[in-house]
Amino acid sequence: MEGVFVSDFIGPVRARSNLPERAYVLDTTLRDGEQTPGVCFTLEEKIAIARKLDELGVDVIEAGFPVNSDEERSTVRTIKREGLKAKICGLARCVTKDIDACITSEVDRVHIFIATSDIHLKYKLRMDEDKALEQALAATDYVKAHGLECEFSCEDATRTPVERLLRFYTSVEERGADVHNVPDTVGVMEPEATFELISRLKSALKKPISMHCHNDFGLAVANTLAGVKAGASQVHVTINGLGERGGNASLEQTVTALHAMYRVETGIRLNLLKEASKLVERASMIHLPPNFPIVGENAFAHEAGIHVHGVLAKAESYEPLTPEMVGQKRRIVMGKHTGKHGVANFVKEKYNLTDDQIAAVVEKVRALAIHKKKIIEDDVNAIVNEVLGSVPDAERLVRLEEILVVTGNKITPTASVQLTHNNQKRVAAGIGTGPVDALAKAIQSALGEEIRLLNYKLEAISGGTDSLCTVEVVTEDKDGRTAMGLAVGGDIVMASVSAIMESLNRIYSKRMKCQQSQ
Ligand code: KIV
Ligand code: ZN
């Protein structure tokens, strides 16, 4: 399959599974996803999300729980009136007023649910099984009598005895229910158990089976896929895996796995996944961890030298899919593990660096990454400029050996330096208005000549107290020679002294070249 580089071991698994040719996608970002603590979408956000889901190609949008409020009812109705290709579904308990709220919201499908596990029947509904079944059947009749599609859920199905599940599902099927949804309400399943349960249901039911898995143990996607392998042909998913507690099965991961691993058609335009994820991330204000599969920032990012080398030689060495397939871009990231190839790749389009310069940039990027975890493009650009402009090591006449700076609220900033000038050791101290000024004075005194600091510019490249800064200085010697020095670092004082040393070395280098030419 083009652009997919998954394991050959999946072939036999596919062959012995009961996979449907097509899996239908019911997205519940606007209902279960909005139940994520702290998430509340505005009407405009809901419309934008619904449109994006439609563009993605989902089959059904569960747009809300209309009985909740007049506002929810009107929002679901507004979404329905958008005229999308996707069917619009509303959630309802097995009670008339909930179903009426769905009807007035003009939905195509009503998703009715009633709890069937002992815990829920006894402590939540305070009802016996027969009474719950009676309500389920009445609700099914009511939905069907209004000419609407009916999807039925046994809430907490996965903690309900299988005989009871069969009783509920076969009974509602006889009354015309169109889809049987199996919620793993508190995410207590694992893939093999899910496969077994869905196989049992599949052999007894005629209507399509749907999976609704929660992620309490991090298995929502795996369980959803196991259900599909057992013959379920609809999946309930949410963008970014939003949902109660640990969330629901993520749409991105589920449909990509269905496509790449099981070759089950979903009708989803995978190349819009990243875009859809970003939209929901912004609207929900729930930020994805960078390592979130498929759509996370790091899903196609490479930092370690060996990986970068491999990916640049042949992308599938370290990528199971092409990033473009899911609307992503490959990123080569700079950091502690960056190797020569990563830096070379990063800078090759902008700069023409020699091998030695690349090695110098790599060394500086790695050193910087030890205290600044995330290296951004500007950091690398600054480092490249520093390396490009620096005096070659062999030509450096002034070298800094040691510095000590003392500053505080009740003492005069004082610095002492030890440096070598023409291989001769020089030691001196100075005081100043601040630590950098004290250092500049100490360096001048050690060199025994007046060097004026014409310009000093300090700039933080990125935010935060661990931010990287660039220091740019211009110095002038007594003969009016000037030179610029640039340094990048996480420590302002050290970056300042490096920039001063850089400019001094340039002045000395100019002076030497001038003497040689005379
Ligand atoms: O998780 C769940 O049980 C649900 C039901 C309403 C289907 O979301
Ligand atoms: Zn749920």
Compute the distance between CA of residue 371 and CA of residue 336 in angstroms, rounded to an integer: 9
Reported as type and span, the H/E element at residue 27 is: strand 24-27
CB of 105 closer than 8 Å to CB of 80: yes
Q: Give residue 373's pLDDT.
A: 65
473: left (phi over 0), alpha (psi -120 to 50) or beta: beta
Q: Which ligand is nearest to the CA of 157?
A: 1
Neighbours of 10 (CB within 10 A): 15
Distances in Å between the Cα of 235 and the Cα atoms of 41, 97, 129, 251, 415 are: 23, 27, 27, 9, 68
Pocket lining: 32 vs ligand 1, CB cutoff 6 Å: yes
Q: Is the pTM of this model over 0.85?
A: no
In this structure, what are the phi and psi dihedrals at residue 452, rounded to the nearest 5 degrees? -95, 140
Q: Give residue 184's pLDDT.
A: 98
> In the numeric block, which tokens belong to residue 290?
């960078």
Q: Give residue 368's pLDDT.
A: 74
Q: In the chain, what is the straight-line distance between the N-terminal and C-terminal CA atoms, in Å?
A: 71
Pocket lining: 31 vs ligand 1, CB cutoff 6 Å: no
Reported as type and span, the H/E element at residue 388 is: helix 377-389
> In the numeric block, which tokens belong to residue 105?
């919201």
Centroid of ligand 1 to alpha carbon of 183 (angstroms): 6
Beta-bridge mates of residue 234: 24, 210
- Tell which residue, 220, 205, 208, has the closest CA to residue 166: 205
Q: Give the up-direction half-sphere exposure of residue 12: CA atoms within 13 A in the CB hemisphere.
A: 1
pLDDT in tens, 62-94: 999 999 999 999 999 999 999 999 999 999 999
In this structure, what are the phi and psi dihedrals at residue 66, rounded to the nearest 5 degrees? -55, -30
pLDDT in tens, 227-253: 999 999 999 999 999 999 999 999 999
Q: Where are the beta strands (DSSP E) in 128-277?
A: 149-155, 179-184, 209-213, 234-237
Q: Which ligand is nearest to the CA of 158?
A: 1
Torsion of CA 154, 158, 161, 165, to 10 degrees: 30
Compute the distance between CA of residue 81 and CA of residue 129 in angstroms, rounded to an integer: 38
Q: Give residue 461's pLDDT.
A: 62
Beta-bridge mates of residue 22: 265
Q: Give residue 340's pLDDT.
A: 73
Q: Give residue 349's pLDDT.
A: 65
Residues of the chain short of pLDDT 50, as ranges, are none
Pocket lining: 185 vs ligand 1, CB cutoff 6 Å: yes
Q: Give residue 355's pLDDT.
A: 84
Centroid of ligand 1 to alpha carbon of 185 (angstroms): 6
> In the numeric block, which tokens belong to residue 133?
């079944």
448: left (phi over 0), alpha (psi -120 to 50) or beta: left
Q: Give residue 372's pLDDT.
A: 63
In this structure, what are the phi and psi dihedrals at residue 449, rounded to the nearest 5 degrees? -150, 155
Centroid of ligand 2 to alpha carbon of 406 (angstroms): 60
Decide the pairing of beta strands 469-476 and 482-489: antiparallel
Ligand 1 atom closest to the Cα of residue 183 is: 3
Q: Give residue 510's pLDDT.
A: 81
Question: Domains in the chain, ordered, with CATH?
Answer: 25-284 (3.20.20.70), 301-389 (no CATH), 393-517 (3.30.160.270)
Distances in Å between the Cα of 265 and the Cα atoms of 32, 227, 257, 269, 424 are: 24, 15, 11, 11, 75
Centroid of ligand 1 to alpha carbon of 200 (angstroms): 21
Beta-bridge mates of residue 416: 404, 429
Q: Give residue 391's pLDDT.
A: 72
Residue 402, classified by CB atoms within 10 Å of its CB into exposed (0-12), middle (13-18) or buried (19+), is exposed
Compute the distance between CA of residue 314 and CA of residue 140 in angstroms, rounded to an integer: 55
Q: Give residue 466's pLDDT.
A: 63
> In the numeric block, which tokens belong to residue 68?
């909740």
Q: Give residue 378's pLDDT.
A: 67
| Chain centroid, CA 407 distance in Å | 42
Q: Which ligand is nearest to the CA of 94?
A: 1
Ligand 1 binding pocket mutation candidate from 28, 31, 32, 36 (most atoms within 8 A of CB): 32
CB of 102 closer than 8 Å to CB of 150: no
Centroid of ligand 1 to alpha carbon of 111 (angstroms): 10
- What lies within 8 Å, CB to CB, of 119 at 6+ separation is 156, 159
Please name the residue ranges forming H helices in 69-190. Answer: 70-80, 96-104, 118-119, 129-145, 162-174
CB of 20 closer than 8 Å to CB of 231: yes
Fill in the amino acid letter for 428. A
Centroid of ligand 2 to alpha carbon of 218 (angstroms): 14
**DSSP secondary structure letter of residue 303:** -
CB of 90 closer than 8 Å to CB of 62: yes
Fill in the amino acid letter for 377. E
Q: Give residue 336's pLDDT.
A: 73
